[in-house]
Amino acid sequence: MTEREVLSKVPAVTLGFWIIKILATTLGETGGDTVSMTMNLGYLSSTFIFLGVLAVLVIAQIMAKRFSAWLYWATIIASTTAGTTMADFATRSVGIGYAGGSAILLVSVLAVLMFWQLSEKSISVDTVNTPRVEIFYWVAITFSQTLGTALGDWMADDAGVGFLGGAGVFAAALAVVAGLYFWTSISRAMLFWAAFILTRPLGATVGDFLDKPLDHGGLALSRPIASAVLFALIIAGIFLLPQKAGSHPGKSVAPPAS
């Protein structure tokens, strides 16, 4: 009997993964704001557009036979732009506020992870290779992307630390998670999701710093131009940084009869 290796449908978690992820979350903020604000489509219409794109890409991701870096990161970008407009609609248009939105979304993320754990006995991304696990994965990601926008806005505005201050807080929190990864035996799956959630408000605050007006503490850069530059950096990252499928031990299988 030998143990085979089953390839995951998502990338291995490497430094390159985190670099592209932060770029994608920043693009999610500037891209979502471009459609909802600069193009003046509003939060609700923009949310329907991005959710439609996300649904198509998630279906394509589930139907794919193997890992595709281009499809994966396109789906991540769709989830983070949808998260931006959904969070803005909930916290601004509906009026539940940044704190209320962050609390509701945090509970939603934790609930998805709990049901995933109960159903599959693991929330490790290395196990993402079946349709049911992929659904858990993408639902958890979409809620986490939405949470990140609300949490970033809460930190920058309600907590009063500003965009750069908020980015510094979330970067410091990520450094703590990295330290726990290297120097403790805390569950790697939990640390992954903690880092994944924290990269979203980091990207959101950096994105807001780039495109918000000067009197709001931003640089007032063009949202479409900032989004185009970030998109180009993501494309370069996919080309230049290692992109391979994650893997995990599969079931033991007997060698073929000779």
pLDDT the model gives residue 247: 66
DSSP state of 125: G
**Spatial contact of 25 and 202, defined as CB atoms under 8 Å apart:** yes
**pLDDT at position 95, please?**
87
- The SS3 call for residue 158 is helix
pLDDT tens for 222-233 read: 999 999 999 999
Start-end of H helices in 89-161: 97-120, 131-153
pLDDT for the residue 249: 44
- Ordered by start, the domain boundaries in the chain are 2-241
pTM: 0.91
Closest CA to 178 of 166, 190, 191: 191
Place of tokens 């769709």: 78
Residues of the chain with pLDDT under 50: 1-5, 249-258
pLDDT tens-place string over residues 42-71: 999 999 999 999 999 999 999 998 899 999
The count of other CB atoms within 10 Å of the CB of residue 214 is 8
Residue found by looking up tokens 């939060």 in the block: 43
What own/partner pairs with CB < 8 Å and gap ≥ 24 does 49-52 have?
Answer: 50/78, 50/81, 50/82, 50/85, 51/82, 51/86
CA distance 107 to 97: 16
Measure the CA–CA gap between 14 and 21, rounded to whole angstroms: 11
Quick one: pLDDT at residue 6? Answer: 55
